[in-house]
Structure 1
């Protein structure tokens, strides 16, 4: 295992501070510093960036980010048991690590970050998707962040990067691919974690586009797509009948057959439909 700093191995850290992973917090700790450094490198050159990390736990990825040269890391950690371990990292990297004890769903990190900003995190499984949707749907675009490098359950990663016609294709893929370039950049087996989860994991890297791929009003697109995929087995003329009284005409005008189902429609036509509904 790589020695990236003068701090103890992570297994010693969690034993010293009594940080047993808690299922209700979605915790699965990644203790191999080779892997945490590899994840940090997927975020690119960090030397001129502030990094937001959610759910650092005992600080494996935090150490990787700092060792890779991050200008500054803001770590949001809900579990107060992890704070002493994170304080030891902060002492090793003076003035480069700030830690907020709280729920990432309730905290606005922008008050504590200076652009350029990148987000890099091994997200807790129980809030990962909700945080991603928030980051993909800010009030204005381009967003405050340049890129996201995030770990998910592999099933979620495949939903994010899915293509039309596949069973995994849905709202998450559309939201991600509308405004970012996204791809799976690492796969991790269960045995890489302590305790091992029951599923494989994957790291997805998102690069924010300067503008969405196709014009559409974000709120309308999100509403139309969510409505369609909530009843994905139905034909679109049925699943979207509540969106507009003349939905069949709007589907046809967008190049969509009313008898198609949601997963058959590509991003460009979803955006066309959003424009037609908005009009």
Structure 2
């Protein structure tokens, strides 16, 4: 089916599309690269996939070619005609929803378990990730997240304790999911080329530690890394019960946030809650 589709550059030219800086867009044209991204979550045949910010549909094509049933959420109305053409080429396989992904209930929209695969708009990527990771219901309805970020953000998601990139995002990503850096993407692959390199991160849900909530962990990590150069006795004093929790667990309050493992942060959050 995809063989009958015109090249993406042609579609973009015909619809007069250009990447919007305000929406954090950067278009990908390289079909081989897009196929490699679509292959990261594994076999997508007849699987439900949620794509955020498809733009003119480069990654969408790769997902459809891989056999997925795609729901694409796009807030840039200029891109809708190009996506409509794609929906015609793949009958009953592509549903396009015009709207803001930050305001849409993904689980209700999908109605079944699903994979998320997206070249995320840079300006909402981290906020969407934190929302998926903070789901009250666990295991979540999503089965995997395959997401393109700026490389610096991707490295913060997979970072280990004691490294400069380790922080709140690493703890929130790793406390109940596994996260790996799946591939790096050179800036030259995009139109227009962003100023920074990009990378794709793949996350899968893991077992939920008992007796701790995502909200409490977010509160503890926000305080701890909000003043990362300070000792924990200073950075955590504004979180009720946090200093007592350190004492109860046996964590030296003179340590700094980046020296604590994910498990230690979970233990602090559990003691606080």
Tell me whether the two structures share a fold, i.e. TM-score over 0.5: yes
Pair 1:156-2:153 in alignment: yes
Q: TM-score w.r.t. structure 2 length?
A: 0.96
Moved more, 24-33 or 219-228: 219-228
211-220 or 92-101: which moved more? 211-220
In structure 2, the residue matched to 1:271 is 266
Q: Tell me the SS of whatever aligns to 1:69.
A: coil
- State the 1:12 CA deviation: 0.8
SS of the equivalent of 1:143 reads: coil
Deviation (angstroms), 1:221:
1.3
Counterpart of 1:243 in structure 2 is: 239
Greater mean deviation of Cα atoms: 254-263 or 149-158: 254-263
Name the counterpart of 2:8. 10
Give the whole-Å Cα distance in 2 for the aligned partners of 1:174 and 1:119.
Answer: 21
User: Structure 1 residues 173, 265: CA separation in 2 closer, same or farther (over 3 Å shift)?
Assistant: same
Give the distance between the partners of 2:107 and 2:186, measured in 1 at CA. Answer: 33
Aligned pair 1:221/2:212, yes or no? no
Contact 2:118–2:148 (Cα < 8 Å) also in 1: yes
Q: CA–CA distance in 1 between the matches of 2:246 and 2:21?
A: 44
Matched-pair contact (CA < 8 Å) for 2:52–2:73: yes
In structure 1, the residue matched to 2:182 is 185
Tell me how far apart the structure 1 counterparts of residues 2 and 209 of structure 2 sit (CA, whole Å).
Answer: 40
Aligned position for 1:102: 99
Separation in 1, partners of 2:151, 2:141 = 26
Summarize deviations over 1:129-169 as a string: whole Å, max 9, x none: 00000000012111010000000000000000000001111
Hey, what does 2:43 align to over in structure 1? 45
Distance 1:258 1:105 in 2: 37
Matched, 1:136 2:133: yes
- Checking the alignment, whether the CA contact within 8 Å between 1:52 and 1:73 is kept in structure 2 is yes
Q: Residue deviations 1:189-219, cap 9 Å, x none? A: 110000000000000000111x225652222
Where 2:200 maps in the other structure, the secondary structure is strand
Provide the C-alpha distance between the structure 1 equivalents of 2:270 and 2:107, rounded to a whole number of angstroms: 31
* Partner secondary structure for residue 25 of structure 1: coil
Q: 1:61 — aligned with what? A: 59
- 5+ unaligned residues in a row in structure 1: which ranges? none
Q: Are 1:118 and 1:146, in contact at CA under 8 Å, matched by a contact in 2?
A: yes
Cα gap change, 1:191/1:201 in structure 2, threshold over 3 Å: closer, same or farther? same
Q: Does 1:212 align with 2:208?
A: yes
1:23 corresponds in structure 2 to: 21
CA contact under 8 A between 1:255 and 1:269: conserved in structure 2? no
Number of residue pairs matched by the alignment: 273
Q: 1:53-132 maps to which residues of 2 (within 5 A)?
A: 53-70=51-68, 72-132=69-129
Query: What is the CA–CA distance in structure 2 between the aligned matches of 1:154 and 1:96, rounded to whole Å?
Result: 31
RMSD: 1.5
The answer to whether the 8 A contact 1:49-1:115 is kept is: no
